[in-house]
Structure formats: structure tokens, C-alpha cells
Chain A
Amino acid sequence: MADLPRLTDDDIRCIVGSDQATVYRLGSGGQKVVFRIGDDSPWVLKAIKLGDGESPKGDQTILEARARREFRILSDCNCPYLVAPGPQPLKITFINGQKVLTFSEEFVDGSNLTDVISNEAPLGTVEVKRLALQMSQAISALFTNGKIHRDIKPGNIMRRRNGDFVLLDPGLAFDIRGESLSDGFLVGTLIYFSPEQFEYDKRRSNDHRSDQFSLGVVLYEAATGKHPFRSSSTFSSAAIYIRIQHHSPEELHKSVRGFPPDLARVIARMMRKRPHLRFPKCDNLIKAIEAAGES
């Protein structure tokens, strides 16, 4: 496990060039710490420790290169359902013997979907459909820019105060070990993996259909309040893998009263075990979601 950057409030003030601002530590996970500077700031600062000392090696170089790529893609995506980059550009600073990469990103005012699910699930059909549509558009925007998210889960989705959803942390480039950014708890991520994400030799050929699977899992969980693959035995990676690979969750319209069967079928297809059985293109998925539940 890589270290978190050790940064004082003064270090943060120094990085953003503001002597007086109040610094709030919003959270941390993986290699990343998130700060908000000032009470009303519309953006947050994220800091990743690249290493100790000046000469980067191995993972640090990859981490930095990927971070730069991700930041560029995020700037290019311009999708209302993807977190937007902030004004502070990607920057590397040497502080207290650490090499730290920082960048800013939109502060999303709202609730994390994990909390929404635990407090409000099952969500209504209209809200599930909105979540499906907006997150599919975010996946589509990323894929159009040659990117897949690879870590779609409730912890990476926020519901804004106006009810719209926004996808955070686009890309594991910020999180090279594939661990959860929110709590560092490995299972939290694995349980949203697509079957092909477990197969190391297929990782390079994964495409948006992998994100589609994870989103399907999120939607199922939002619609029922229950994770489709979690069970009392899913404690180890192997058990989670077997469950995701072989278990078919109960059809949504049978387990949730009044749930539209066509939307249930869309979500079931998103969670097909093999990528070639899911929706071939993001456009197909978006159209299917739009058409579902209308009759």
C-alpha cells in the first residue's frame, strides 16, 4: 500500500497560494487526500504522493503519467454528469521530502450514492432511470475520449442537490492498485467488478462494456437496496469472483413491485457475464434506457 501524503494546512495553503484560507480535510483513500480550501469554494484539491525523494521510479512514473492523462481527458470530456476539473492545474510539488501531485476538481455539493442507498433504497423507478441515463452518458463521454472508468460504484457517484448524478474519480490511473478511493477497503471495489476485470490477461482489452456491468450492479442495488452479488460468503476475492461469475440475480421486476420489466431487462443485460452479451455501444444503452418504462 502506498503512503498518503503527509501535508499540513500550511502546505496546502502554500500549494494553492493562499495564506489565510481555511483548509478542510474532506477524506482520504488509496494514495489520495482530498481538501477543501475555504467554506464556499466550488472546488476541491486532491493530493497524491508520488514518492519520497526527487527521482521518480517505477509506479511513481506511471502514476504521474496516468494522472496527467486522466486530467487531460477530464478536461476534454465536458459532460455534466462527470466531475469537472477545477482551476488549479495538475502540479508537482516537493514538500517535506515528498513528491506530491495535486490538482483541483469541482466540489460536488450533495450526497454520496452509498449514503443515498443506505438511507433511501429502494429508490423509485424514475430516480433509478435517471441514475442509469446520466451515468451511461458519463461512461459514454469517457469512452468517446478513449477511457473507461473501471471503478464505478456507489462510492464514486454523487447525487447533487438538484437530483442529478455525477461520476467521480474517472479512471484508476489515480489509483493504480485498483483499491477503493473512498475507504481503501478492497472488497468495496471488487464487488462491483465486471467478470472480465478479474481476468488479468483481459484487462488491457476491457472496454465500456466493463463499466456497463458495474453500472448495472449499482442500478440493481439502488433499485432493491440489495447488492446483487453480495452474500454472507463473499468475504474473499475468490468468493466474490465466483459469485459475480456464476450467480444470476433475481429479475428486478420480480423482486421490486411495479418495476418496469423493460427497464429490468436493460439492467439484466448490462449485467450479462460476457461482454458480447451486453449493449454493444453506449448509444444503444442510452436509447434502451430512454425507451424503458415509458409504456
Chain B
Amino acid sequence: MSLYAQHGYGKGNKIKYAAQAGTIDGVIFSARHEKPSNVKQCIAELKEIREDFTAMLDPQFFVSYLQDPRDGCLPDHWSSYYSAGRTRRDFRGPKALLKHAKNTLVAQMNLGVDRLVSPSIFFRSFDENACEVAMQLAFASVEAHAQIEDAPPILISFQIEESALNYAEPMERFLDEMTAAELPGFYLTFGRPDSIRWPRCREEVLARMMYIVHVLKLNDREVYCGYSDWGGLLFRAVGADAFATGWHLSSKTFRISSFCGSKTGGRQVLYYSSVPLLNQIRLTDVMAVRRRQISHLVRSRTPADRRIADWSLQLAQLQHWEALHSVSSSLQGDVESNLDSLDTRLSTAAAAFQQIRDAGVIFDQADVDGHVKDWQKAIRQFRVLAELDDQG
């Protein structure tokens, strides 16, 4: 298990193709984008393709707590647990929490999922009331789960805005509490600011994201990281059982603005996911590199590479999973050796970017190599946080 598809709008046959090819090992369905009957049917088909394929549903309960939600299928098809416009009042008292938890979990039964995902609400700080509600929902979910017969294992979901990770101390308190409680597994989503997408991330925040994943795994919990795209490689390196990414920007990077307010469309650009650079680059940049006869510096050696001349959105999306899968599959060791392996890849990436610059190629994206330093620094900070330096 390592890479999952983060389902979103317009799934087409992508998930099936990738499952068949073995580049993804599971899928996390988005409730707001699919009716229950479709989810059920799709899971059945995927299990036909691969019996060991893991399926789960992100109930996206947190949308009910957002103002002006963009909730898609949720109000009409997932109304057993979803209702728009919830406020703090809806989470008062253990009875109310248990009801939300039970309804959300029961709605996932009979879909064929391998894990049940608990309801949660999005929070921006470990000290705010929303975090307290999220924790209470977590405990209520464990209680509700115990009451459901033949239920698959439960994952406690948390949607944490990365601003919550600006300070270490509240995060550490949160972890002390989570690891002391009987919570068997987690589905974590880190909310990113609108202006930043994976693989970019401030190093101290990224180090703390990695730390959360590492600590939960160290405490023998299952850990799944949603919407983590390239960043998922770091999470995988420090212990995540799997990470997920999708095809649109909105399923690659979690932004709370994708779930509320008016919809903003973007021009679809053709990308190529480069394993040596640990980032995606525009197809036009791939062509520029080819003209300089240095394409070995960016080539991923994924099966889709052969069709670079006929590049399409669908191909780009499948190749993205292939590229991530290829790196993720190499991270099978312990945390130290995985981080060493990523460190080596980052040094290679830095050298490749330099060689590309030296060859006179200027990429369209200005900060296409910014993640290299982010990641190198984050790995260093993580090692200190996790007290890995003295483990011997």
C-alpha cells in the first residue's frame, strides 16, 4: 500500500486504468462528487480488477460547518449525515456528537469500503474551539463505531489548516492527547493556503506535518494522508501507510476555499511529472529540455513517457500517479533510510536544475525548484523534532 487516488470531479476511467496498471493501490472517494450508488458500483468494479484494492470514502462532513458551502452531491445524496449550515450549537453535548458520528459511519456501510472515515470539522489552530469539537467528534466516532456490527476498521479524520502548525507546542499537546487515546487510525488532511501548491511548503510547517504523521505511526496507528500529492512522498518516508492525490488541483492540494464560495475555473495546462526533479513541469518545458538534448535530466522513465508526443490531460494525470508511485515504491525502509534516500534524490534534483539552467533553459514556472530547499530544510528540522539524531 502506498499511493491512492484522491477522487474528485470527473473520474472517467482514470482510477480503473491506474488500478489495472498497479500504480495506485486504493481510492478515497469524495462524497460531494458522487452518489452512494455510484461509489458502491465503482468500488465493486475496482475490486473485480484487484481484490486487494483499498477503497474508502471521505464523507466531507466538515463542509456542513462552512459558510456558503460548495457541497455538490452532499445535500441530496448524503443527507443521512450531511446538512448545510451547522454551527457550534449542533455539536453541543455527547448525544449530538454521537448522532453525527453514527450517521456518518453508517452511511459508509454497504458501500464496500475497507475503512470507515469519521466525521470532523476543519480547524485553523489547535487552541480554537473547532479543534476541540473535532477531537470530541473523534472520541464519539470510536464509541459509535463500536456500536456498529461488522464495521470495517475506523479512521479518525482531521482537516488541519497548515497555519495550526506555526507553533510547535499546541501541536505537541494535541499529539500527546491523540496518542494517549484509543484511536486506531487516522485520515489526515492538511489545508494549504490558496497561493501555495505541492510540492512547495514552508520548511517548518512541512517538518511538523511530517512529525505528526511520524508520531502517529510510531504509536502504532494507521495513517493515511489525503490530498498530499508530492508532499505525500515525505509522509510516506516517515511512516504513512498511504497518501492520496487526484487529477485536478482541487484533489491534489486541499484548500478550504475549494469547498466554499463561488467556483473559480482555471485553464488546464498540460504537465509532465518529473521523478528526477520531484515536481511537475509544463509540457512546453519538457520540449525545451528535449531541444537542448538534456531530457535525461527530467525523464521519469514511466510507461507513459513513450507517448509524450501525444500528451493529453488524461495521460498527464495517469503519468502523475506513475511518477509518484515510482518514488513511493522506493521508500520501503525505515524512516532514517527513507529520508536518506529522499535526501539523495533532492541533491540530484538540485544538480539537475542547475544543469538545466546552465543549458539556458528557463522554466515557465518561476519557483519550480523552490521545493528542493523546502524539503531539505524540512527533513533536517524533522530529524531534530523526532529526536532521530540520537537513535543510533
The segment out of A68-76, A156-164, A175-183, A264-272 that lies at the interface is A264-272
Q: List the 7 closest A-B pairs by CB distance, nearest first.
A: A280-B219, A276-B175, A251-B392, A276-B179, A248-B390, A276-B215, A275-B176
Residue of A nearest to B392 (CB): A251
| Chain B residues positioned under 8 Å from A230 (CB to CB) | none
Q: Decide if B390 touches A274 in the complex (CB within 8 Å).
A: no
Residues on A lying within 8 angstroms of B by beta carbon are 196, 205, 207, 209, 248, 251, 253-254, 261, 264-265, 268-269, 272-277, 280, 284
Q: Is B386 positioned at the interface, with any CB of A under 8 Å from its CB?
A: yes
Bound-state CA distance A196–B391 (Å) is 21
A128 to chain B, nearest CB (A): 17
Q: Decide if B219 touches A273 in the complex (CB within 8 Å).
A: no
Q: Is B305 positioned at the interface, with any CB of A under 8 Å from its CB?
A: no
Q: Decide if A275 touches B179 in the complex (CB within 8 Å).
A: yes
Interface string of B195-233 (1 = CB under 8 A from A): 000000000000000000001001110000000000000
Q: List CB contacts (< 8 Å) of B175-190 with chain A.
A: 175-180
Q: Decide if B392 touches A277 in the complex (CB within 8 Å).
A: no
Given A276-B176, A280-B219: 17 more A-B contacts, CB < 8 Å = A205-B176, A207-B180, A248-B390, A251-B390, A251-B391, A253-B392, A265-B391, A265-B392, A268-B390, A274-B172, A275-B180, A276-B178, A276-B219, A277-B215, A280-B179, A280-B218, A280-B220
Bound-state CA distance A283–B285 (Å) is 54
Residue in A196, A268, A273 whose CB lies within 8 Å of B392: A268
Residue in A248, A253, A277 whose CB lies within 8 Å of B218: A277
Q: Decide if B176 touches A261 in the complex (CB within 8 Å).
A: no
Q: Decide if A276 touches B172 in the complex (CB within 8 Å).
A: yes
23 A–B contacts, CB within 8 A, in A order: A196-B176, A205-B176, A205-B177, A205-B180, A248-B390, A253-B392, A264-B392, A265-B391, A265-B392, A268-B390, A268-B392, A269-B391, A274-B172, A274-B176, A275-B179, A276-B172, A276-B176, A276-B179, A276-B215, A276-B218, A277-B215, A277-B387, A280-B179
Given A207-B180, A277-B215, are A284 and B220 also a contact pair (CB < 8 Å)?
yes
Given A248-B387, A272-B387, A274-B176, are A254 and B215 also a contact pair (CB < 8 Å)?
no
| Chain B residues positioned under 8 Å from A269 (CB to CB) | 391
Residue of A nearest to B389 (CB): A248
| Chain B residues positioned under 8 Å from A274 (CB to CB) | 172, 175-176
A270 to chain B, nearest CB (A): 12
Bound-state CA distance A264–B386 (Å) is 17
| Chain B residues positioned under 8 Å from A275 (CB to CB) | 176, 179-180
| Chain B residues positioned under 8 Å from A253 (CB to CB) | 392
Residue of B nearest to A248 (CB): B390
Bound-state CA distance A205–B179 (Å) is 12
Bound-state CA distance A51–B32 (Å) is 67
Residues on B lying within 8 angstroms of A by beta carbon are 172, 175-180, 215, 218-220, 386-387, 389-392
Bound-state CA distance A133–B176 (Å) is 24
| Chain B residues positioned under 8 Å from A273 (CB to CB) | 387
Bound-state CA distance A196–B179 (Å) is 15
| Chain B residues positioned under 8 Å from A248 (CB to CB) | 387, 389-390
Bound-state CA distance A269–B215 (Å) is 12
A279 to chain B, nearest CB (A): 9
| Chain B residues positioned under 8 Å from A276 (CB to CB) | 172, 175-176, 178-179, 215, 218-219
Bound-state CA distance A207–B386 (Å) is 20
| Chain A residues positioned under 8 Å from B389 (CB to CB) | 248
Bound-state CA distance A256–B176 (Å) is 32
Residue of B nearest to A251 (CB): B392
| Chain B residues positioned under 8 Å from A284 (CB to CB) | 220
In this complex, the member of A196, A253, A276 whose beta carbon has the largest number of chain B beta carbons within 10 angstroms is: A276
B389 to chain A, nearest CB (A): 8
A205 to chain B, nearest CB (A): 7
Residue of A nearest to B220 (CB): A280
| Chain A residues positioned under 8 Å from B177 (CB to CB) | 205
Residue of B nearest to A279 (CB): B219
| Chain B residues positioned under 8 Å from A277 (CB to CB) | 215, 218, 386-387
In this complex, the member of A251, A272, A277 whose beta carbon has the largest number of chain B beta carbons within 10 angstroms is: A277
Bound-state CA distance A268–B386 (Å) is 12
Bound-state CA distance A280–B180 (Å) is 7
Residue of B nearest to A277 (CB): B387
Bound-state CA distance A264–B392 (Å) is 9
In this complex, the member of A205, A265, A274 whose beta carbon has the largest number of chain B beta carbons within 10 angstroms is: A274
Given A207-B180, A276-B172, A277-B386, are A254 and B392 also a contact pair (CB < 8 Å)?
yes
| Chain B residues positioned under 8 Å from A254 (CB to CB) | 392
Bound-state CA distance A270–B61 (Å) is 38
Bound-state CA distance A205–B180 (Å) is 10
Residue in B175, B179, B218, B391 whose CB lies within 8 Å of A268: B391
| Chain A residues positioned under 8 Å from B172 (CB to CB) | 274, 276
In this complex, the member of B175, B180, B389 whose beta carbon has the largest number of chain A beta carbons within 10 angstroms is: B180
A259 to chain B, nearest CB (A): 11
| Chain A residues positioned under 8 Å from B175 (CB to CB) | 274, 276
Residue of A nearest to B216 (CB): A276
Bound-state CA distance A272–B177 (Å) is 16
| Chain B residues positioned under 8 Å from A205 (CB to CB) | 176-177, 180
Residue of B nearest to A201 (CB): B173
Bound-state CA distance A269–B176 (Å) is 15
B41 to chain A, nearest CB (A): 39
| Chain A residues positioned under 8 Å from B386 (CB to CB) | 277
| Chain A residues positioned under 8 Å from B390 (CB to CB) | 248, 251, 268
Bound-state CA distance A276–B178 (Å) is 9
Bound-state CA distance A277–B177 (Å) is 12
| Chain B residues positioned under 8 Å from A261 (CB to CB) | 392
| Chain A residues positioned under 8 Å from B220 (CB to CB) | 280, 284
Bound-state CA distance A284–B389 (Å) is 22
| Chain A residues positioned under 8 Å from B391 (CB to CB) | 251, 265, 268-269
Bound-state CA distance A274–B387 (Å) is 10
